[in-house]
Structure 1
Amino acid sequence: MNTAAPLRVAILGAASSGKSTLAAALAERYQTLWVPEYLREFVDTEARIPVAADQFHIAETQRDREDAAAPRANRYLFCDTAPLMTVVYGRHYFGGIDQQLAALAASHQQDYAITLVTAPDIPWIADGLQRESEEVSVIVNRLLLDELAARGIPYLLVSGDPGERLSQVERHLS
């Protein structure tokens, strides 16, 4: 068990942009934990896509799982998404977000020591019930980059195949 708080690394990006693959590879490389995206579980468990009223619950559950994993992580905790990504999706799909989600995203924004963004440059693969398409992924990626810029959040854009992405992040973390 680690006594120092790990650095949280937010891995953001559109659907099918390699977030989970990168998070798992980084956790293996650094012998630590990663927190899978709760949205996937939600869609599978509920057998439906989320609606606007689900957004806060999804983001809050994601954060709760990060908080539960943090004491067991070594040096880094790789987070496959963050509340900010839920904000981006809420604005895109529902035309806005509620105050609870806005407050959650704002209050935890500084918790991430590093933000990675996965470029939508790998082959797009449909993700079950999740409704995104390759075209929407490009739009969501642009919205994400705009949101990061508006909030003044620095990030590393990772691109290429999984090995190239891992190398880019390793250089950034060293």
Structure 2
Amino acid sequence: MEEKYRQESSTIIKVVLFGPESTGKTTLSQQLARYYNTVWVPEYAREYLQDKWNNERKTCEPQDLLPIAEGQMRLENELTKKATKILICDTDLLETKVYSEAYYVGACDPILEKYALQNTYDLYLLTYIDIPWEADDLRDKPTEREEMFTYFKDALEKYGKNFIILKGNKKERLEKAINHIDLLLHK
């Protein structure tokens, strides 16, 4: 039953956009996919939680995290088969784990934690909080951006993930990301 949270094996290079809300992850995911002529994996939680908000006027609750994780991995596994030599992921299960612990006082479902740590990626692009925060139905921490950034950075360090921090405008972030991804592609 837990297989639905597992990453299917692949030789594709996988890059994850990682960081707090409203830090340009989706924009950069789309730019990188276009640049590398490949596909990108959208953040399943956005669709899932927007539907929940539209239908129930409720935000994320702990019982939503496993369905979100399942949907995210289903999308990633499907799109891995369509990718060229690289797959750009707008998020991963480690991001869901970080949010779970930040929102629910250190709590994380053991299944989510297991696969958040077991699934692997070649590079994490940690997006900094130096771009303006944009409100929407789901974003709720405009005054806690530094704290959230620290949660994300600490998680990458704690679990020994290969990551870089992206700061600056869209062009600067894109160029830095491309430089680091190209190093992976030429190994």
SS in 2 for 1:31: coil
In 2, Cα distance between the equivalents of 1:28 and 1:16?
A: 21
1:172 equivalent in structure 2: 180
Question: Is the CA contact 1:34–1:79 (under 8 Å) kept in the aligned structure 2?
Answer: yes
2:7 equivalent in structure 1: none
State the shift of 1:67 in Å.
0.3
1:77 equivalent in structure 2: 87
In 2, Cα distance between the equivalents of 1:81 and 1:43?
A: 15
| 5+ residue gaps, structure 1 | none
Using the size of structure 1 for normalisation, the TM-score is 0.92
Question: Is the CA contact 1:83–1:104 (under 8 Å) kept in the aligned structure 2?
Answer: yes
2:4 equivalent in structure 1: none
In 2, Cα distance between the equivalents of 1:71 and 1:84?
A: 22
Residue in structure 1 matching 2:112, options 82, 90, 101: 101
Report the residue type matching 1:66 in the other structure.
E
In 2, Cα distance between the equivalents of 1:145 and 1:129?
A: 22
Matches within 5 A, 1:22-37: 22-37=28-43
Report the residue type matching 2:164 in the other structure.
L
Report the residue type matching 1:130 in the other structure.
R
State the shift of 1:66 in Å.
0.4
Using the size of structure 2 for normalisation, the TM-score is 0.86
State the shift of 1:57 in Å.
1.6
Offset from partner CA, 1:25-79 (integer Å, 9 cap, x none): 0000010000111111012111131101111221221111000000110111100
Matches within 5 A, 1:154-169: 154-169=162-177
In 2, Cα distance between the equivalents of 1:172 and 1:91?
A: 29
State the shift of 1:127 in Å.
2.4
1:129 equivalent in structure 2: 138
Offset from partner CA, 1:71-112 (integer Å, 9 cap, x none): 11011110001100111110110111011111121221x2x1
In 1, Cα distance between the equivalents of 2:87 and 2:134?
A: 26
**Runs of 4 or more off by more than 2 Å in structure 1?**
129-132
Question: Is the CA contact 2:76–2:89 (under 8 Å) kept in the aligned structure 1?
Answer: yes
Residue in structure 2 matching 1:86, options 90, 96, 121: 96
Report the residue type matching 2:130 in the other structure.
D
Question: Is the CA contact 1:5–1:70 (under 8 Å) kept in the aligned structure 2?
Answer: no
Question: Is the CA contact 1:49–1:130 (under 8 Å) kept in the aligned structure 2?
Answer: no
In 1, Cα distance between the equivalents of 2:73 and 2:144?
A: 25
State the shift of 1:113 in Å.
1.0
Question: What is the CA RMSD across the aligned residues, in angstroms?
Answer: 1.2
Residue in structure 1 matching 2:16, options 4, 7, 10: 10
In 1, Cα distance between the equivalents of 2:164 and 2:152?
A: 13
| Length, aligned pairs only | 168
2:69 equivalent in structure 1: 59
| 5+ residue gaps, structure 2 | 1-9, 183-187
SS in 2 for 1:72: coil
In 1, Cα distance between the equivalents of 2:73 and 2:15?
A: 13
